[in-house]
Amino acid sequence: MPQFNDTELTAAVIRSFEETPDPRVKFLMEELVKSLHDYVRKTDLTFDEWGYAIDFLTRVGQKCTPTRQEFILLSDVFGVSMLVDAVNHRERGGATETTVLGPFYVGEHKKMPHGADISANLPGERMFVQSRVTDLKGKPLAGVPVDVWHADDDGFYDSQKPSYETQGPSSRARFVTDADGRFSFRTILPCSYPIPTDGPVGEMILQTRRHPMRPAHVHFLVNAPGYEPLITHVFIEGDKYLDSDVVFGVKDELIAKIEKRSDPTMPDGKRADGPWHLMTYDFRVKPGEGAAPTPLGVKVTETV
């Protein structure tokens, strides 16, 4: 009969999974138990500390809503999201680098025409984004849906605002590439912003004296049929938080130089109302399979 003490307990728990029919599930459960038990032993975890951890995770779950995913935020600030991304994208083969999806992909991406202003009613410095999707050899890919989303000039995503349920998406849209693989849109220049600090994850960040800031960026999800979905950001060169992103999502290749322009017209020939910024960034996708992510707890609206 096994003795359920600190030396034999782990082996007993691992044996309890012996009849698990799926070998991958069996392996994952065994390794999870080993890691958790090792943590408890290495830290001599106290009852109060374990109780606090259970309460913390309970509050993380309670903070989740159809438009807010506190567990994804927790994964992000622990670097787990980027680590999962890294081990699943070790060989890029020239494809654009990936980064975290983030907790604000809520699936409400309405198809809009090229050149549309996705932030038409928002204050901020105007920006024109022009982009192209190609394969690894530079061949343009037509008919590719590309979801884009970013925070506003105050550092908030549309889904964080009380008006989201009534006014709908803002600074968020879906574009479909043309015959030359191109798409473009107008928006506002994004700014660096803090992750939400009104929940348990923010509480942890502030208590550990970490800053909660993310550098300015635009999210892109490129979902070309026959190719691996590409989830990435394009960051703004010169942002002071590029070296200390709270979710560890920055990669050198994803930093773009944004040109400040005073031309009277934008690249599509339409009039510019004052100075504006130009973001140019092309995406290279890798042949393969996979589905674009479905946001946890969110009903996805498809409008392609």
Catalytic residue among 150, 174, 217, 233: 217
CA 263 to chain CA centroid, Å, is 33
Q: What angle do CA 246, 249, 253 make, to 5 degrees?
A: 140
- Annotated catalytic, 105? no
Q: How many CA atoms lie within 13 A of 276 on its CB side?
A: 20
Q: How far apart are the two ends of the chain, measured CA to CA in Å?
A: 61
Asked whether residue 303 carries a pLDDT value surpassing 50, the answer given is no
pLDDT tens sequence across 79-92: 999 999 999 999 99
- Annotated catalytic, 217? yes
Catalytic residue among 105, 150, 193, 233: 193
| SS3 assignment for 158-209 | HHHCCCHHHHCCCCEEEEECCCCCEEEEEEECCCCEECCCCCHHHHHHHHCC
Question: What average pLDDT does the chain have?
Answer: 91
What letter would DSSP give residue 227?
Answer: B
The overall pTM is greater than 0.85: yes
Catalytic residue among 105, 157, 227, 281: 157
Q: What angle do CA 194, 199, 201 make, to 5 degrees?
A: 70
Are residues 114 and 186 in contact, defined by beta-carbon separation less than 8 angstroms?
A: no
Q: How far is CA 291 from CA 96, 125, 231, in A?
A: 17, 35, 11
Residue 190 burial class via C-beta count within 10 angstroms: exposed 0-12, middle 13-18, buried 19 and up: buried
Catalytic residue among 126, 172, 186, 214: 214
Query: Which of 303 and 279 is assigned the larger pLDDT?
Result: 279
- Annotated catalytic, 277? no
What letter would DSSP give residue 215?
Answer: -
- Annotated catalytic, 214? yes
pLDDT tens sequence across 221-268: 999 999 999 999 999 999 999 999 999 999 999 999 999 999 999 998
- Annotated catalytic, 227? no
Domain 64-284, what fold? Protocatechuate 3,4-Dioxygenase, subunit A (2.60.130)
Closest among 74, 53, 59 to 247, alpha carbons compared: 74
The H or E element spanning position 127 is strand 126-134
- Please state the domain extents for the chain: 9-45, 64-284
Whole-number pLDDT of residue 166: 52
